[in-house]
Amino acid sequence: MKVCLLGLGYVGLPTAVVLANNGMYVHGVDTNPLLIEKINAGEFTSTEPDLDLSVLSAVKSGNLEVSQSPVSAEVFIVAVPTPVLPDKSGADLSSVEVACKSLAGHLKSGNLIILESTVPVGTIDLMAEWISDVRPDLGFSNASENPLKSDRIYLAHCPERVFPGRIMYELLENDRTVGGIDVQSAQRASEFYSSFVNGKITLTNARTAELSKLVENAYRDVNIAFANEISIICDDLNVDVWDLIDLVNQHPRVQVLSPGAGVGGHCVAVDPWFIVASAPDRSKLVRTSREVNDSKPNYVIQSIRSIAGNSEKLVIACLGITFKPDVEDLRGSPALYIVETLAEEANYEILVVEPNLTELPEPLSQLSNIRLVGLPQALEQAKLLVLLVNHQLFYSIDQKQLVGKSIIDTCGVWRDTPTRCL
């Protein structure tokens, strides 16, 4: 089977590799020429477990090659970015539209198109329109609106459910939801995924599949927002939030999540806005949860400023800037936002400890008052320690080294030391 996969990002490239290493010929497409060069040369590197070696294996086998242009195939997979618009009014679907129009010229009767990107409800219908604009000769599999068209293609949505740090495993083992623009499309897509997925595959219609992914992440966002709001209330009332959560979770039907510095990543912090945009008058809880989680980083910043006061050139160590523990991923990171905001304060000297990076991202790397350092240096020099991401490294700190320092712990790592828990 020949597969053309458009978008070699966090989901697309691992998917291409899994397919190639399961015996399919995969032609990957991306707009980044440097990425294409590295993959084809077998020089791609990643901290995602097993990904770089799997890429090398797929390229060496001849089953994976990549370029900037699509080619003819039996199956087309679209896994391009769908970021939220700056005003949170919906998703930027421009990359999906470009992908549809670029592959349309290569379509033949019987081809299957699968969208894996997370999208608002109704996007599969838009894809059908964009493809039809370029290829009016093609219809979709049941195409009841124009039964005279003899050339049929199949169109379905299968949202990804992978977790950074476990992507290569979860692509194979997780259950999948497949929604077709019609029943035939869902069945064809299910047959495709059944060839390499060990998890259960459930069929539905496209609109339900689109909403299912959004609801999964909105559910997580609502529960995190509850924990973050409780953490702020505890801070106001001088109550240790971690002790409180331990006590509350002794109830057999209660499971409060852990608070943090906010919510980041490309899913949980983004997808709920697609629901709000689709049903603004009906999504009050979803909207409020997003606002609570988006406000948490600013609360942490205010707490840092209240401790720092007017100290000149105060040395602050910020521990962690990725969006979750033990990955290199900075997308939507609340910790990164906190550090960037603090770096604008000329009277602070900021030491960043991030064990998953070898250099600071721009624009931080251009600032004179911020440095990427090792943990020993940060513990020695900083007067204020701010724990933003609970990387495994930080659990190994001897808490005797924290004596005499001001501490803000957003992750509950240093519970045996007097800290301000946020």
User: What domain range includes position 370?
Assistant: 239-421
367 lies in a domain? yes
Q: Which pLDDT score, from 0 to 100, does residue 225 have?
A: 98
Given 4, 100, 158, 213, the catalytic residue: 213
> Is residue 213 flagged as an active site residue?
yes
In this structure, are 151 and 243 located in the same domain? no
In this structure, are 194 and 266 located in the same domain? no
Q: Render each residue's pLDDT in the chain as its tens digit; 422 residues.
A: 999 999 999 999 999 999 999 999 999 999 999 999 999 988 898 888 999 999 999 999 999 999 999 999 999 999 999 999 999 999 999 999 999 999 999 999 999 999 999 999 999 999 999 999 999 988 886 555 555 455 789 999 999 999 888 999 999 999 999 999 999 999 999 999 999 999 999 999 999 999 999 999 999 999 999 999 999 999 999 999 999 999 999 999 999 999 999 999 989 999 999 999 999 999 999 999 999 999 999 999 999 999 988 777 899 999 999 999 998 899 999 999 999 999 988 788 999 999 999 999 988 998 889 999 999 999 999 999 999 999 999 999 988 889 889 999 999 998 877 666 66
230 lies in a domain? no
CATH of the domain at 65: 3.40.50.720
195 lies in a domain? yes
340 lies in a domain? yes
In this structure, are 255 and 396 located in the same domain? yes
Strands 64-67 and 75-78: unpaired
In this structure, are 151 and 257 located in the same domain? no
In this structure, are 246 and 166 located in the same domain? no
Query: Domain boundary at 199, 230, 262, which?
Result: 199
> Beta-carbon neighbour count of residue 227 at 10 Å?
18
For residue 357, the number of C-alpha atoms closer than 13 Å in the C-beta half-sphere is: 22
227 lies in a domain? no
In this structure, are 129 and 246 located in the same domain? no
In this structure, are 251 and 169 located in the same domain? no
In this structure, are 152 and 300 located in the same domain? no
Query: Domain boundary at 145, 177, 199, which?
Result: 199
Q: Give Cβ neighbours of residue 320 (< 8 Å, ≥ 6 apart).
A: 335, 353, 354, 387, 388, 389, 390, 391, 394
146, two tokens: 């124009």
215 lies in a domain? no
> Is residue 267 flagged as an active site residue?
yes
Given 100, 234, 267, 421, the catalytic residue: 267
Q: Which pLDDT score, from 0 to 100, does residue 148 have?
A: 47
In this structure, are 172 and 252 located in the same domain? no
Query: Domain boundary at 147, 180, 199, which?
Result: 199
Number of domains in the chain: 2
In this structure, are 88 and 170 located in the same domain? yes
213 lies in a domain? no
In this structure, are 147 and 251 located in the same domain? no
285 lies in a domain? yes
In this structure, are 309 and 174 located in the same domain? no
